Structure 1
Amino acid sequence: MFNYLVKNKNYLILLFTLAYVAAFGINAFSNTNFEFLYYTFLIIILIFVTILVNQRLYLDFFIILNLSLLGFFHLLGGNLWFQDLRLYDFYIIPGIFRYDNFVHTYGSFIATLALYSLLSNYIDQKIKQKFFIFSFILMFIAMGIGTIVELFELYAVIFFNAARQVGDYYNNAFDLFFNTLGAIFGTIFIYFYRQPPKFIRRINYHDQ
């Protein structure tokens, strides 16, 4: 059973993704939530693009899994309500950190890891050795992707009258801030993934 799950892990993630997209799509349609029907359509496009990319450029299972979870968290945030409060507007840390901030941070973090996975083999070794420069390249690309996401939210405001749900300029600025924070976390994770600290290398050496 375990071997079957390992062998078919990508297909199982695809089935999980299609299942929650269908479920949240039906829920959004039944509640005339056109904003999240629009987002559901965008996630379907993202699934298609991910499949195409993975056929040509190998994506690690960790990346595929977390891209799927990101889509799940996003659709959950707009479809789950606590009385009159959307999950997206729920404060994980009261007055400081909302579920929306978590999704933006997590999304930018995963985008940075995915970019590293895709670009690492095509970046000149001299640049990769200067990780400070390489990390800024990854961060700026990830932040650019975050800006594109904000443009898609703008389209939701224009075409689906979602200004109240999407938020004002203050909310937009915080989205960009947490996108940046997620990209920074991503580059820190990559740094330790590429070159573990000396004390960890010593532990690993003594375990051998």
Structure 2
Amino acid sequence: MKIKNTNAGFFHRLKHDEEFQIKAFSFLIIKSLVIFLITAIIIGNKEFVYYDLVILPLVLFVFFVHRRIQMHMLVTSLLYVIFIMHAAGGVMHIAGTRLYDITFGIIKFDNIVHFLGSFVTLLIVYGLFTHYVNRKGKRFNEFYLFILLVLCSAGVGTLIEMVELIGVVFFDASEGVGNYMNNAIDLFVNLLGAIAAGIFVLRYRRRKLFKKLID
């Protein structure tokens, strides 16, 4: 009976307590990343050992940012999913093909990760920005808001490419992440994701559902 009551209490909190939800989800993501890290170590993939060691503290950083500015659960969860997609991309295989080597026509799995990552990053930047604006009571022209959000998101994407560059220089990751053209395509896809997210934000940010799930 006590076990049943404990389980009932757990699922009740999981359903109704957002703070508990993000703690549980963060724990699940960290556990998954540790599994991917161990897998990368076992198969000798130094590149993704490095990436996983970078991502793990980022999960904790996102968790504390979430608590600080009350980011919506949907946005935080989407970012966590991007982390998992990246970590899985280097060590998981489907029908003998590594995830990061899978293509859908001209679109690579890597392109999808970068596009979605940049899209979600802009939503987070928007959340940080509106948190600041609401406190200061300021209003900004939508065009300038769009440019600011896109540049910030694209800038984060550039920082990520610099992290990849460290992997290339110190862990000989060029075979895994690609050459200069791959880097340029990543930056371009990051920009496309940021632009798409910027258009999405400007079009829907005044709607109630957007404010409930994103803003």
The TM-score range, normalised by the shorter chain, is: 0.7 to 0.9
- Whether 1:190 aligns to 2:201 is yes
Partner AA of 2:110 in structure 1: D
* TM-score normalised by length of structure 2: 0.84
Q: Which runs of 5+ in 1 are unaligned?
A: 197-208
Contact 1:58 1:118 in 2 (8 A): no
Match of 1:180 among 177, 191, 194: 191
Counterpart position of 1:143: 154
Q: Distance in 2 between matches of 1:69 and 1:117?
A: 18
* TM-score normalised by length of structure 1: 0.87
- Whether 1:98 aligns to 2:108 is yes
Q: CA deviation at 1:54?
A: 2.5
Q: Which moved more, 1:74-83 or 1:17-26?
A: 74-83
DSSP-derived class of the 1:125 partner: coil
- Whether 1:131 aligns to 2:110 is no
Contact 2:168 2:174 in 1 (8 A): yes
Q: CA deviation at 1:45?
A: 1.5
Match of 1:4 among 13, 33, 58: 13
Equivalent pairs, count: 193
DSSP-derived class of the 2:90 partner: helix
Q: CA deviation at 1:82?
A: 4.1
Q: CA deviation at 1:132?
A: 1.5
**How do 1:43-82 and structure 2 match up within 5 A?**
43-82=55-94
Contact 1:91 1:98 in 2 (8 A): yes
- How large is the Cα RMSD of the aligned pairs? 1.8
Counterpart position of 2:211: none
Q: Distance in 2 between matches of 1:176 and 1:56?
A: 30
Counterpart position of 2:212: none
Alignment deviations for residues 112-141 of structure 1 (CA, whole Å, 9 cap, x no partner): 0001111113236331xx211101101001
Counterpart position of 1:171: 182
Alignment deviations for residues 41-100 of structure 1 (CA, whole Å, 9 cap, x no partner): 1111201211232232221101110111011100111111246632112102x2x10000
- Whether 1:109 aligns to 2:119 is yes
